[in-house]
A and B are shown apart, each in its own frame.
Chain A
Amino acid sequence: MIDILSKRYYYFVFSLLVILPGLILLSTNGLPLSIDFTGGSLFEVQFEAGKTIETGDILSIYEDAGIDDAQITTTETGSLIIRSSFLTNEVRDEILTTLTETSGAEVSVIRFDSVGPSIGKQVASRAALAVGVAALGVIIYITLAFRKVENAFRYGVCAVIAMIHDVAVVFSVAGIGAVFFDWQMDALFLTALLTVIGFSVQDKVVVFDRIRENANLLRRLEYEKLVNHSIVQTLQRSINTQLMTVEFLLLALALFGGVTLQEFAVILLVGLLSGTYSSIFVAAPILVLWEKREWTTWFKRKEATA
């Protein structure tokens, strides 16, 4: 049987290598929050072919309307996305009218989002609360579901540590995406994040369930061997469910699903992958580490090598 658990410290290092670069990017550049959380507006318009206005002119139209923080990006389809602080509907109408007059042709509105500043802050704080409630719910649920196993509480805590790992991976991906693909954290990002949390826990439960079952069947086996045995037994299922089915569905969504869902699909893809990885290479090793109280030997080892 493959010995997965003995190399556990390598997995921890690998996880850090995945998580740290994105988090460093995030901490240097700040969170790329979208207007969903910061408030502000996004106005996407399409001009008739050949009737485009210079970006400088658009900026001055915005300035005339009293908005001086507009930023303009051009999309692949040739439409313009103008981001700025919160626009009331009156100001938007005024701007649209001026745009139409200046270009001398019909301007079609593809998308307009405008979020007041107060609402954004509340969404952000409520989102943090939702994640906190979810984490607490998970600990309670797992402790209850595993109440017949020794140290049931540990399973809940390990699931949450692995969950935090997955959240960190998602943030890391978002940080990298923000730098290279101009991604923003919006309501869909939050949805993806919470889904990753949900499925991460689902995956831990499958592995833990096998440990629960084996603990009864193989009472005399050493704990590390027991956990290793359980991981190997669920390995095929993990690969088939996650890689072959869910990841394929998400990959299809990311490749063919249109712009709106692309970022969402990629984040889910990486997040769910991380969820499966962390069941095997984070949550289970920590269970063993906890059982053996390995932290008592960490510093001794250092002394020995020094």
Chain B
Amino acid sequence: MIRNLTNRIILIVVVVALALWIDFSREITILNPVTDDTLFTQDVAPRLGLDLQGGLQVLLEADLPADAQIDPALMDIAREIVQQRTDALGVNENVIQVAGDRRIVGEFPGLEDTEAVLATIQQTGLLEFVDTGDFNPEEGSILATDYSPTGDPVEPPADGSTVYHTIMTGAELESVVVSQAALGAYGIDFVLKTDGSRIFAEHTSANTGKILTILLDKQVISAPVINDAITGGTGTISGNFTYESSNAFAIQLRYGSLPVPLKIVETRIIGPTLGADSLNKSLVAGLIGMTIVALFMIIYYRMPGIVAVLSILIYAIVAFAVFKWFHFTLTLAGIAGFLLSTGAALDANILIFERMKEELRNGRNIMQAVDQGWARAWPSIRDSNLSAILTSLILFWFGSTFGATIVKGFSLTLAVGVGISLFTAIYVTHTLLVIFLRSFKPKNLERWFGI
């Protein structure tokens, strides 16, 4: 028996209203009624996956031996750097994620010029050796230099700050290794290419005692003093290095700013026409399928069938709102997962209705049958759906370690969909059915219940 029917109705109406609000908005903003300040805002624009709008997906893997342990913190830094570099390209809504312990997956929706993105990801940071004279800049500060990759003269900054002269760039470095001059005293040995050796020899002979600042993407990473002229094309940067910091520095010199060298192990490009075609077709397919299923439910189960269809509609409204709120990316596999979870939602309804019919055949009155049907069907609905969620979670884990976003999207929509379907089957269908029964008081069971 449902005791607090009014409360239930209020809850359902509130949930559906909220869900509809999210479904039809691109952004949710709640204003403070007194001051008109924004209290809360959430972006709920729908996100289409690469397979639906076209775009580029790359899987990057740490270019290190397979058995090498990689510090997760370094992978996070690498991910951030890739994100920053590609954001600078003006690509919108790209998603860069660490996948597993040695991979990073990058998705660039709606992108057609893939070469620029790939080049940007793989580029090494710009390393510059800059003459700062007697000025010893603070580590991490930003300096302006006169280096220009195109050869055009660099515009002096508007605020009139000093522009320093770049002697050479990281391109002149042949190799970089960590060395240990004495116990615990780490340094970085470098070998220069022929041109670099000449430039370096000239500069260091003329500027002994001055400071040679090393910049990475215009940011100071070290500012050593030139102790002696370096004429042989090899030199050592010494300072207060620990083993870790010298290693990190060497890696920066070698690969630019990426703390972990990355190589592209997988590229997927989906043209925009294929994407649009898939979206339209799968939406049409979903609609046709749902219509047939709705007709079947109504014809076979009569009044409970109508209730089930209403309940599934509410399910779809709520599920779509949840997907939008949590920024799920809608993919083809996701649509399939959603359809399957709709099947699971229907299954719960069917289990209950079949149980209800059995109780009616055993001579119970309608209200008793409804309550018994629910009580009896619940254990099998719970256990069967939990097992479906369990497998979805295993799938999700599998998908995340490999950046297999298609698998991830599918399992996530399936798991969340099945979860929501539990709510609608148990709560919404039950409540709606009781409302229907109370307002219509059907006498003819055969006609209303299809028994």
Contact = CB atoms under 8 A, between A and B. Distances in A.
Nearest to B392: A198
Interface string A272-283: 000000000000
Interface in B319-363: 332-333, 336, 339-340, 342-344, 346-347, 350-351, 354, 358
A253 B289 contact: yes
A261 B282 contact: yes
A115 B358 CA distance: 55
Of A92, A201, A251, A258, most B-chain CB atoms within 10 Å: A258
Contact of B267 (A114, A133, A240): A114
A111 interface: yes
Interface string B256-270: 000000001111111
B445 interface: no
A118 interface: yes
B296 A255 contact: no
B417 to A, nearest CB: 12
Nearest to A194: B395
B42 interface: no
Interface stretch (A7-15, A26-34, A56-64, A204-212): A204-212
A113 B271 CA distance: 11
Contacts of A202: 344, 347, 384-385, 387-388
A177 interface: no
B14 interface: no
A141 B386 contact: yes
Interface stretch (A66-74, A121-129, A168-176, A285-293): A121-129
A137 interface: yes
B44 to A, nearest CB: 26
Interface in A96-133: 108-116, 118-119, 122-123, 126-127, 130, 133
A253 B300 contact: no
Contacts of A213: 376, 379
Give the size category of B's interface with A. Answer: 35 or more
Interface stretch (B23-31, B70-78, B240-248, B403-411): B403-411
Nearest to A199: B388
A119 B266 contact: yes
A6 interface: no
A44 B358 CA distance: 56
Contacts of A257: 281-282, 285
Interface in A196-225: 197-199, 201-203, 205-206, 209-210, 212-213
Contacts of A187: 404, 406-407
Contact of A123 (B339, B350, B402): B402
Nearest to A127: B398
Give the size category of A's interface with B. Answer: 35 or more
Contacts of B84: none
Nearest to A108: B271
A234 B380 CA distance: 11
B336 A261 contact: yes
A236 B114 CA distance: 53
Interface string A226-237: 000000011011
Interface stretch (B33-41, B272-280, B422-430): B272-280
B404 A258 contact: no
B89 interface: no
A188 B391 contact: no
A145 interface: yes
Contact of A246 (B115, B267, B340, B379): B340
A245 interface: yes
B118 A110 contact: no
A191 B274 CA distance: 21
A138 interface: yes
B271 A109 contact: yes
Of B277, B285, B288, B406, most A-chain CB atoms within 10 Å: B285
A249 interface: yes
Interface of B is mostly: helix
Interface in B398-451: 398, 401-402, 404, 406-407, 410-411, 414
A253 B293 CA distance: 13
B115 A89 contact: yes
B269 A112 contact: yes
Contact of B286 (A241, A246, A252): A252
Contacts of B332: 260-261
Contacts of A258: 277-278, 281-282, 285
B292 interface: yes
Interface string B28-70: 0000000000000000000000010000000101000010000
Contacts of A134: 390-391, 394
Nearest to A264: B336
A109 B407 CA distance: 24
B269 A241 contact: no
Of A195, A197, A234, most B-chain CB atoms within 10 Å: A195
A110 B289 contact: no
B395 A191 contact: yes
Contact of B293 (A109, A194, A245, A268): A245
Contacts of A260: 51, 274, 278, 332
Contact of B292 (A89, A122, A248): A248
Contact of A195 (B51, B264, B340, B347): B340
A252 B289 contact: yes
A244 interface: yes
B286 A141 contact: no
Contacts of A250: 289, 339
A265 interface: yes
A212 B378 CA distance: 13
Q: Which 5 A-B pairs have the closest CB atoms?
A: A198-B391, A252-B289, A258-B281, A209-B380, A116-B265
Given A44-B271, A248-B296, 9 more contacts: A108-B271, A112-B268, A119-B402, A130-B394, A138-B387, A195-B340, A197-B391, A205-B380, A265-B336
Interface of A: 44, 46, 88-89, 92-93, 108-116, 118-119, 122-123, 126-127, 130, 133-134, 137-138, 141-142, 145, 187-188, 190-191, 194-195, 197-199, 201-203, 205-206, 209-210, 212-213, 233-234, 236-237, 240-241, 244-246, 248-253, 255-258, 260-261, 264-265, 268
6 contacts: A118-B265, A119-B402, A134-B390, A201-B388, A240-B300, A252-B292
